[in-house]
Structure 1
Amino acid sequence: MNRTDRLYALVEELRAVSPRPRSARWLADHFEVSVRTVERDISALQQSGTPVYAEPGRAGGYCLDRSHTLPPVNFTAAEAVAMALALHRLDGTPFHGPASTALRKLVVAMPPGDAAAARALAGRIHLVGGAPATTVPRVIADALQVQRVLRIRYEDKGGAPTVREIEPLAFIGTPSHWYLAAYCRMRRSMRAFRTDRIASVTVTAEVPPPRVVEPDAFDIPDHIVHSLTLG
């Protein structure tokens, strides 16, 4: 279990037994980590604004104040990622820190399957520089979740059109444009399609094979690429 998943599971365990406490030793045994790791994780949760407190005494331990937490919420993966993207616009402002803790609280309140799906989707959104300025048509915005081969009519910078079948893999956003990163069957290689040059889209019934695309496939310097995260 990675640390992000463990932090989520810690909160869910404390929520389930609240107002009763769980000792650091019990949590360490349950999650198969050291007591020191549990203490570090609890400290990270407290610093992020999660209302976890220590109850002293022989039968004490860590408790979650349920009156200060969200009940389970039914945000979809796309809605959670939309929140993350909106909050990304606060980078560099005095509200960046509170925005990050607010997003973390939201993800913690999601059912585990939905939270995992949201993290997987967020991992396929890559931002270059500032927040993107252009909008993306809904059918293109849903490309990653639909998980189907798309048939697109694409116009190059000179306006010349081509019809292609593509396998959507990721989004790349720059301050001026959104790009749909995909495997292009016509070119037999990875391509980044500027979304405002996609003139039409048809969703086919074909499910594409598993592929992975990295931002460096498009010669984007690593230091200016920021993958979207959910806390």
Structure 2
Amino acid sequence: MNRTDRLYALVEELRAAAPSPRSARTLARRFEVSVRTVERDLAALQQSGVPVYAQPGRTGGYVLDRRRTLPPLTITPAEATALAVGLHALAGTPFAADARSALHKVLAVMPERERAAAAEMTGRVQLLVPAAAPARSAAPVVPEPLREALTAGRVLRLRYVDAAGTVTGRDVEPVGFLGGDEHWYLAAWCRMREAPRGFRVDRIQAVQALDERIPERHVDLAELDTLGSDLVPLAEFGM
């Protein structure tokens, strides 16, 4: 069994045992590898976002939170390929890394036979880019608190540099993301300006999610005003 198949099998073994724990020694015997190999595999699963937790104690071990995982999917190779092609459209956006992670999670819960067929099919697909199409800029590096701003519902504290090079600190209430081929922006209610603003992602030097939750506030994104050349109205994006 190669490592990819073993990682998949580990998840299914823990899923079947949940909520009871499985010790690393028991898992090592099950998959005929060393305890150290199992511990490395479990650490890799945790780092990739699989909700595997260690329970301390004499009867402890590793537990999978089944509420936050998917069972093996009856997804076809063509459907998996369609997902890969669709998620490719997110290249160059703040969500490119999340798209890759989502696809890997889908593939991880597919049965081995269908996963191999999907890999073969995607290997036969190539996307063509028109020669006249402008080169797309590299994907912006977006800190995790900023990527999770909308779902977290927290006020953000930004260190932001504008087009003139002036650095300011801003507490903002995130509303959404907007952008295109050239730039991406965080749309938010700026407490310093007391108005909606768009903050260019590549000009955000630091971001911190505060404990304060976003208050209920009606924000008309059409009111987004310009504040220097790096801030743009949402209307320009057809919103």
Contact 2:24 2:62 in 1 (8 A): yes
How far residue 52 of structure 1 moved from its aligned partner, in angstroms, is: 0.7
Give the TM-score, by structure 2 length.
Answer: 0.49
Which residue matches 1:83?
Answer: 83
Which residue matches 1:29?
Answer: 29
Contact 1:18 1:63 in 2 (8 A): yes
Which residue matches 1:18?
Answer: 18
Q: Point out which structure has higher relative CO (alpha carbons under 8 A, 6+ apart).
A: 1
Identity of aligned residues (%): 61
Paired residues in the alignment total: 131
Q: Could you report, residue by residue, the CA deviation over 1:53-82 in whole angstroms, capped at 9, with x for unpaired residues?
A: 111111211111001112332210110121
How far residue 43 of structure 1 moved from its aligned partner, in angstroms, is: 1.5
Q: The residue matched to 2:126 in structure 1 has which SS?
A: strand
Q: Over the residues paired in the alignment, what is the CA RMSD in angstroms?
A: 2.1
Q: Could you report, residue by residue, the CA deviation over 1:145-164 in whole angstroms, capped at 9, with x for unpaired residues?
A: xxxxxxxxxxxxxxxxxxxx
What are the within-5 Å matches in structure 2 for residues 126-165 of structure 1? Answer: none
Give the TM-score, by structure 1 length.
Answer: 0.51
Contact 1:11 1:108 in 2 (8 A): no
Which residue matches 1:226?
Answer: none
The runs of at least 4 aligned residues of structure 1 exceeding 4 Å deviation read: none
Contact 2:5 2:112 in 1 (8 A): no
Which residue matches 2:93?
Answer: 93
User: Which ranges of structure 1 fall in alignment gaps of 5 or more residues?
Assistant: 126-169, 178-231
Contact 1:25 1:35 in 2 (8 A): yes
Q: Could you report, residue by residue, the CA deviation over 1:90-111 in whole angstroms, capped at 9, with x for unpaired residues?
A: 2343212222222222223323
The answer to whether the aligner puts 1:172 opposite 2:172 as a matched pair is: no
User: Which ranges of structure 2 fall in alignment gaps of 5 or more residues?
Assistant: 132-239
How far residue 8 of structure 1 moved from its aligned partner, in angstroms, is: 0.9
Contact 1:52 1:62 in 2 (8 A): yes
What are the within-5 Å matches in structure 2 for residues 1-231 of structure 1? Answer: 1-122=1-122, 125=123, 170-176=124-130
| Rg comparison, structure with higher value | 2
